[in-house]
Chains A and B, each alone.
Chain A
Amino acid sequence: MNNNSVVISLQQIKKIYDMGGVEEVQALRGVSLEIQKNEYVAIMGPSGSGKSTLMNIIGCLDTPTSGLYEFNTVNVSEMNDNQLARVRNKEIGFVFQTFNLLARSDALHNVELPLIYAGVPSVDRKRMAREALEHVGLGDRIHHKPNELSGGQRQRVAVARALVNRPSILLADEPTGNLDSKTGDEIMILFEELHRQGNTIILVTHEEYIAEHAYRIIRIRDGMVESDTPVERRAKVLAAVS
């Protein structure tokens, strides 16, 4: 595995929201950054900093107004809806603050969903989804619906769903925001394990404590990169892993 290949490359990314007529909001005012394979990066910033907009663009949920975004050296900044959907499906695993599981489907089906959209045949799909759930420690919960699971378990289902298609990056938006600190720590331990297994993780948060689990912190303020530094003192939760 080449640990130095660039997964994400942003050059002068701008995002301008037209608020109707003369007024416009510059959410991103020229962001440039690179993320390598197998990096564990935290993106931080107060609300209104443009952090969410940046995450949406990195996650291919949104396209920049201008600038170049290359994902695995492919230009995604000018892709259409369906092409973006394909990139999201194959290359990006999302983990959301509110879990965003389908309430009426059991854990297995939730995890299967990206495989359905990828066109994986049923038998393989079931096996892969089950493996992904076992991987996050929920092998015995595959037929539980989200409301039958605890918050931490729900987030694990979401992580399994994010990883089931073997994406290039795991994009987590405040993954511990809706969890108590103990389950939050458990999720961070899981992330650390995933990182050690070779996954590329991008963590979006506004909490310093959570961000310190990463190896690099990019701080966003007023739509610009304020600082981009390695983490010197990593959070103590790591002790539990090693």
Chain B
Amino acid sequence: MKEVFAAISKDFETFGTIEKEGEVIFDKVNDFEHISEKRSRYAPKEFLIKRNENVLLLEEQTRRAVFGVKSCDLKGFYQMDKQILGKDPFYTERREKTLFVNFVCNEPCDGGFCTSFGGPILDQYDLQVLRDGKDYHIMVSDKFKEYFNDYREEGDSFFSRFSESFNSKMDVLPVDGLEGRMKWNSGLWKEFASRCISCGACNFSCPTCYCFDLYDDENERKREWDSCILSGFTSSSAGNVRKDLDERLRQRFYHKYVYFKKSKGEYLCTGCNRCVEDCPVGIDIKEVITHDYSIE
């Protein structure tokens, strides 16, 4: 891996997961040893969608390689692609110039439910790394084959065996058919709303959320990460038609588990559990999946 890292760092500005005051964050890295395998504190969305930037000027981006992304977080980008790749020029420019190296988790994390959406072995990736003791097994996309000319090729069997064993360690939530089960008038939404403080954590932590707001700042026009939980969301067009908080929370869950499924064929959720971890009032998206709507 060291050599692969060295080769990649010749062509890319290299970033990776490092530990800082006990927290795993993304920063510039110069050697492979400093990269942490632990799950990062957040999904590294800011590599493709900056938290705040001037949109009057799109500069050519440098090529960046990001090591240590977890599969659940990386999967978010492939889901975003379906919606904004080729449409959002800022996202597209960065997406095309960024190489993600996802580290597959060896063990399930607390609270995560990725196996409900396929588990940590992804079928789309740049470089997918699975450590087995001292050895690394790597799945490489065609785009980056050049870095692996000198390495032995093995079949997919290691990955599929791993996947089977990993997935057997976690309970799979009943996501199938959720788009038909969820209820518009469920009491869940109002109960969530009674606790929610509109902090936006669920959006900001979500590896699949990409919405932003536009505003003018003197001679610049900027965009900034936005949250659909806020009443002013989309106010730059018609304004938020969802007047009450319970309606806005419901919209978020319906977007993830109903509308995206119906329009794009998959759920807009990777099971990362980040929205649950960052929610200050304990709203658990898993409850949306497991709730018994039939009794309402």
Q: Do A and B come from one complex?
A: no
Q: Please report B residues at the A interface, Cβ cutoff 8 Å.
A: none
